[in-house]
């Protein structure tokens, strides 16, 4: 009788445990080390440096009885001394036939639907000096990992769209943000053609000190992939400032190409020009940034990649008084590992 009771208790316990959702757990890591040599006309920027960019990502996934896909993710910046360590992203994702709902610390939707020339370059170096207000690429601008609600539709014949909203809270300095985006992908001559559009709007400070300091950004681009080659053409516009007469009015245009040579070797190149029509001197010289990047990437082994990236840049401050003119170059050697 005692054995029967014990056996019955074990069966009840096992049945109780099985009634709870059991998640699949994955732990992945990304580790990157870089050595950069900079040639600049600004003494504080000129010279050599080393840096690390390491992350650890923990994901929990589960499928509910009614067909919903659940994902819980923690993305941690794992750098120690010299870099800031801490939580980068932490969110819950619920997916189904209705699309995908994201809750928590995750990129704004314009990040998902953004596309710029920098997206074909692994190490998108920039050379604009401290104090600049110009953008350094033509892709999406202003995405952040603040707490937000986001929705992305299911793919419908190659079309997909999304919307996100972030509430800055009850503080008087409101910086609420909304973002939207859409994309369409179609097959083309054995490859694919993709177009993307996104828009982001962030409220300004509302405490009376910087009224109307809201900012907006729009980006649209096209990407063609055929065989081993990919090409991106992109355009971005953004405005920001403390008043209608003082707002930056920036336009940026970029193009990039990447080609796989086989054997784990690929090459890429990009160019971008950004100009602020509002930050002009009396002589008509605007704040302007131009950059050209070339990159060679080699997959040493699965999960291990070596890259050499070269940047040539030129910056004119125009009427932007917080930065000085500069031109120069950067050469960076990068080792990346994923686990």
How far is Cα 178 from Cα 216, in angstroms, rounded to an integer?
A: 10
Q: Cα 73–75–76 angle (5° rounding)? A: 145
Percent over 70 (pLDDT), the chain: 86
How far is Cα 210 from Cα 241, in angstroms, rounded to an integer?
A: 9
Instruction: Decide if pLDDT at 7 tops 60.
Output: no
CATH, domain 24-338, list 2.40.160.10, 3.40.50.300, 2.60.40.10, 2.60.120.260 = 2.40.160.10
How far is Cα 64 from Cα 151, in angstroms, rounded to an integer?
A: 20
What pairs with residue 335 in β-bridges? 33, 306
Query: How far, rounded to the nearest angstrom, does the alpha carbon of residue 308 sit from its chain's CA centroid?
Result: 21
Give the pLDDT score at 207.
Answer: 44
Per-residue pLDDT reduced to its tens digit, 98-148: 999 999 999 999 999 999 999 999 998 999 999 888 999 999 998 888 899
Per-residue pLDDT reduced to its tens digit, 53-71: 999 999 999 999 999 999 9
* 3-class state of residue 161 by DSSP: strand
Q: Cα 331–333–337 angle (5° rounding)? A: 150
Beta strands 191-202; 215-226: pairing state? antiparallel
């Amino acid at each position: 009788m005692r054995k029967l009771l014990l056996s019955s208790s074990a069966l009840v316990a096992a049945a109780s445990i099985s009634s709870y959702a059991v998640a699949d757990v994955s732990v992945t890591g990304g580790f990157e080390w870089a050595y950069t040599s900079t040639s600049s006309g600004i003494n504080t920027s000129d010279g050599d440096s080393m840096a690390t960019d390491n992350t650890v990502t923990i994901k929990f996934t589960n499928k509910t009885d009614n067909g919903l896909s659940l994902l819980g993710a923690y993305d941690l910046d794992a750098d120690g001394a010299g870099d800031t360590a801490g939580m980068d992203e932490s969110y819950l994702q619920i997916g189904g036939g209705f699309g995908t709902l994201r809750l928590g610390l995750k990129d704004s939707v314009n990040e998902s639907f953004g596309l710029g020339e920098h997206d074909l370059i692994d190490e998108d170096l920039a050379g604009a000096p401290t104090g600049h207000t110009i953008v350094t690429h033509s892709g999406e601008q202003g995405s952040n990992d603040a707490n937000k609600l986001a929705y992305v539709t299911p793919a419908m014949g190659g079309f997909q769209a999304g919307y996100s909203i972030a509430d800055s809270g009850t503080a008087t300095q409101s910086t609420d943000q909304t973002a939207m985006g859409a994309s369409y992908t179609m097959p083309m001559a054995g490859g694919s053609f993709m177009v993307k559009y996104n828009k982001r709007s962030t409220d300004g400070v509302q405490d009376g000190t910087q009224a109307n300091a809201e900012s907006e950004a729009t980006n649209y681009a096209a990407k063609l992939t055929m065989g081993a080659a990919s090409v991106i053409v992109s355009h971005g516009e953004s405005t920001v400032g403390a008043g209608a007469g003082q707002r930056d009015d920036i336009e940026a245009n970029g193009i990039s190409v990447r080609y796989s040579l086989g054997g784990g070797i690929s090459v890429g190149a990009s160019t971008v020009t950004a100009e602020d029509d509002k930050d002009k001197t009396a002589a008509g010289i605007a704040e302007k940034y131009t950059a050209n990047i070339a990159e060679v990437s080699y997959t040493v082994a699965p999960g291990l990649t070596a890259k050499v990236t070269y940047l040539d840049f030129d910056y004119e401050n125009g009427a932007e008084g917080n930065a000085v003119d500069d031109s120069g170059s950067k050469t960076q050697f990068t080792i990346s590992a994923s686990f």
